[in-house]
Structure 1
């Protein structure tokens, strides 16, 4: 199922849940009824269950065949290293090779048309649910440099695969929080919640733990293993 269709379905279900939680039995309300506007929120800590990690390696020499042979050797060394770390061969995915012609730089620091060699680059990517193991490999893989491989490890990306299901639950909790806030406000002023006027789902903030970052467009952090998800619902209730 396409991501867009999944998200549309999630939003539709979430709005239905919010309405069920917030609404009271149908009544006819006058347009001049008093109303109270509140914002409900729900927070939950989550731990990523999927990691995507990538590393890059390259070779450079005057002749293209020689450069390719060196890169091929490095490819085998990288693969052998990862296999020894306990990574299944099916989970090791190499990209296509990128070829970059290298031109001489003249005395003025300007690139000339004289070809002096080639640089070949390739990347390796691993997607795994074994988050701890791949995190450790991302830190230690530069050991390949000791074997003569020019290797660069990229920061891992962390994801939570049950996010869509969790969003529905979180919106329900945020809606409950909104109603409790509205009931307390109405009680403090001697009133009583009489019915739902409107509701609006806010954006989700998925941030590293203890982060204070907020965005009007929402945040989906992929840099942290441990995260916090915040759901927000804005609601108006009629008050009598």
Structure 2
């Protein structure tokens, strides 16, 4: 019966802390243990770490043209957009997954012999970007590296490194909270065992921010880190539990 109650308490802690997590919209923390004794209580910081693999990617690219005539620049950009779209579809990207941004327009002015810009418009620059969201991580990664082949087709194309996400993060965070709480319980038991005491009733539990980093990273932040540059990541949860000392 004690084991059943103990298991329930971990679940209760996880649920309470998960609610706090949602309310505070927190991400990332450290994975070390800090212990202190005060008023016959023991405060223990427990942690849990797990490796995860991204299952969703967002990739963007951009292309631009310039011309002395606005109408000509627009025609050039429209032609480049068609080339980009064909390249992506031929590369296996569904047409419905390709999202083109609105066209951005800017001007550049004539430069006088003294290096000062005049008020005379010398030409126009038109810019457009594309965005693709997909669960096919390998395809997006490959595309981001090879899409500059469009340059060979006369398109001034720039590829931006993809962002990688783990879509089941909300459920995983609840699991990590429970594991971190269990770790805090275990650490409290080990620390008190040498004195002949043991942890009693849980008085309070506080959730730190989650830390999502590339593997083997030692980067930490009080405000949290949510890495989107790596396919493989590590997530660390930290929970501080205050136990009565029996």
Q: Do both proteins adopt the same fold according to a TM-score greater than 0.5, normalized to the shorter chain?
A: yes
CA distance in 2, matches of 1:12, 1:231: 11
Match in the other structure for 2:155: 149
Match in the other structure for 1:63: 69
Of 178, 183, 186, which aligns to 2:189? 183
CA distance in 1, matches of 2:193, 2:232: 39
Match in the other structure for 2:24: none
- Deviating beyond 4 angstroms after TM superposition, the runs of 4 or more aligned structure 1 residues are none
1:12 Cα deviation from its structure 2 partner:
8.4
| Counterparts of residues 1-240 of structure 1 (less than 5 Å) | 13-15=15-17, 33-240=39-246
1:71 Cα deviation from its structure 2 partner:
0.3
Q: Give the paired residue count.
A: 217
1:194 Cα deviation from its structure 2 partner:
1.5
SS at match of 1:114: strand
Kindly indicate whether the alpha-carbon contact (under 8 Å) linking 1:17 and 1:172 is maintained by their aligned counterparts in 2: no
1:111 Cα deviation from its structure 2 partner:
2.2
SS at match of 1:182: helix
Match in the other structure for 1:23: none
TM-score if structure 1 supplies the norm length? 0.87
TM-score if structure 2 supplies the norm length? 0.85
1:218 Cα deviation from its structure 2 partner:
1.1
CA distance in 1, matches of 2:50, 2:61: 32
SS at match of 1:141: helix
CA distance in 2, matches of 1:130, 1:238: 50
